[in-house]
A = this chain, B = another copy of it.
């Protein structure tokens, strides 16, 4: 006998939780489609040669390699031919470069698949997790207007996920770099290093970051550190305040002005798109650690749960696929790490136990009623309800108990008595109510109750 168990570092859910997770996936996908993004799926494995061109040491150390049994029998020199994707960005770069001539640009794609990282086993760290990404890829150029649409997508996603109020933080790498230039930090590598430090403000706290910047490695003068800290502390409160705080920064280098101008365009467009002004703000401390962001950067925080960190991040990059294509393919995108987010929400008690995806249990009172119960079930299914038929007759109490535990809202009963009176009995377990309905009105009443409640019919 083998002990049944999953490998460490994966999240496997019981059905009720899987239903809640699936509803989040559905909401995200539906929102991505609302904004005109097209679906892409890529294979879970890529050729190692293709996947691992771009990445440095750290990523490669976390990669999972894949080998068929045949390859194990005659071990080749060096690393195996294939590896599991560790994000959706490298596969997107490969996809766009491979299919460049078949795609229309700007290319708007969404991709929601699992990715794999050999993380150290640790609570809340996953080796397999969902990423839900959107990206807009231009050819040669891409208007800032696309960058401005992204926060509107983020707003709709989290509004519809209904996990609490949130703020989309905006910043711009050119604003940051231009401002650093103004402070005499002109060297590109040093700018990136300072950005990395600023990115740690939330984790390490102001004092620690201040000490690092003034200390040996950086050696910045105290006035520069003070100025940096004051700059990084800037956050806006409302639309007009965001504009005012950007204006109050005074004149800067051309790079700085370019960043400020783009941020202001994004703010204006968010207003035109009807995004509530409580949902977006500038936050000049966010930088996104990754070096490939070159313009707007986004982070999203749950207002009541800052400890969860950013739940949706991304930004603008200059060239998606330099390793695979001679074309310049600038892009802008975001990623939601849904597995980790779901886990964190559950830890914080923010995931309610989901109603079952099954709306109705059709009870079976005796074996002679089987055909009747089956016919009734089909009638409800054809109307659009998800129905389980009780196939083995049991006491009604046990059938009700089963439905209640499983989160099935309605139990439909047509026993001898109901048949004699030409009615169907319905128990609404959510409201502890019992109804008697004609068969002809049954489906419509149940559908109306479903649509009025928290369990939408269909997706």
| A contacts, CB < 8 Å to B | 1-7, 10, 12-15, 18-19, 22, 26, 30, 33-36, 38-47, 49-50, 53, 60-70, 72, 79-82, 84, 93-95, 97-99, 102-104, 106, 108-109, 114, 116, 118, 128, 143, 145-146, 149, 152, 156, 268-269, 272-274, 321, 323-326, 356-358, 361, 370-371, 374-375, 377-378, 381, 385-389, 391-392, 402, 405-406, 458-459
Distance, CA A106 to CA B143, complexed state (A): 55
Distance, CA A454 to CA B102, complexed state (A): 24
Query: Contacts A7-B46, A62-B68, A69-B63 hold; do A145 and B34 have CB atoms under 8 A apart?
Result: no
Q: List 17 A-B contacts (CB under 8 A).
A: A1-B326, A2-B323, A3-B324, A6-B46, A6-B47, A12-B42, A18-B38, A26-B459, A30-B458, A38-B356, A44-B116, A63-B68, A64-B68, A65-B66, A65-B67, A146-B391, A156-B381
Main secondary structure of the interface of A (DSSP, over half): mixed
B7 touches A47 (CB 8 A): yes
- Set of chain B residues within 8 Å of A81, measured between Cβ atoms: 7
Query: Contacts A38-B358, A60-B69 hold; do A7 and B324 have CB atoms under 8 A apart?
Result: no
Q: Which of B2, B13, B104 contacts A53 (CB 8 A)?
A: B2
B374 touches A273 (CB 8 A): yes
Taking A104-B405, A273-B375 as given, write out 16 further A-B residue pairs in contact, using a Cβ cutoff of 8 Å, ordered by the A residue number. A2-B50, A4-B93, A4-B98, A6-B46, A10-B43, A14-B102, A18-B39, A18-B41, A22-B39, A34-B387, A35-B381, A35-B387, A61-B69, A66-B66, A143-B391, A269-B374
Distance, CA A183 to CA B453, complexed state (A): 61
- Set of chain B residues within 8 Å of A34, measured between Cβ atoms: 381, 385-387
Query: Contacts A2-B49, A7-B82, A33-B386 hold; do A39 and B15 have CB atoms under 8 A apart?
Result: yes
Distance, CA A45 to CA B389, complexed state (A): 34
- Set of chain B residues within 8 Å of A370, measured between Cβ atoms: 145, 269, 272
Q: Which of B68, B72, B389 contacts A149 (CB 8 A)?
A: B389
Query: Contacts A47-B7, A104-B402, A114-B44 hold; do A39 and B274 have CB atoms under 8 A apart?
Result: no
B19 touches A38 (CB 8 A): yes
B84 touches A66 (CB 8 A): yes
CB nearest to A459 among chain B residues: B459
- Set of chain B residues within 8 Å of A385, measured between Cβ atoms: 34
Distance, CA A30 to CA B386, complexed state (A): 9
**Closest CB in chain B relative to A295 CB, distance in Å:** 16
**Closest CB in chain B relative to A104 CB, distance in Å:** 6
Name the 8 nearest CB pairs between A and B, nearest first.
A36-B388, A68-B118, A272-B371, A4-B324, A15-B38, A4-B98, A10-B43, A4-B97
**Closest CB in chain B relative to A277 CB, distance in Å:** 15
Q: Which of B33, B50, B391 contacts A4 (CB 8 A)?
A: B50
Distance, CA A146 to CA B1, complexed state (A): 28
Distance, CA A156 to CA B24, complexed state (A): 26
Distance, CA A4 to CA B18, complexed state (A): 35
CB nearest to A60 among chain B residues: B69
Distance, CA A269 to CA B143, complexed state (A): 61
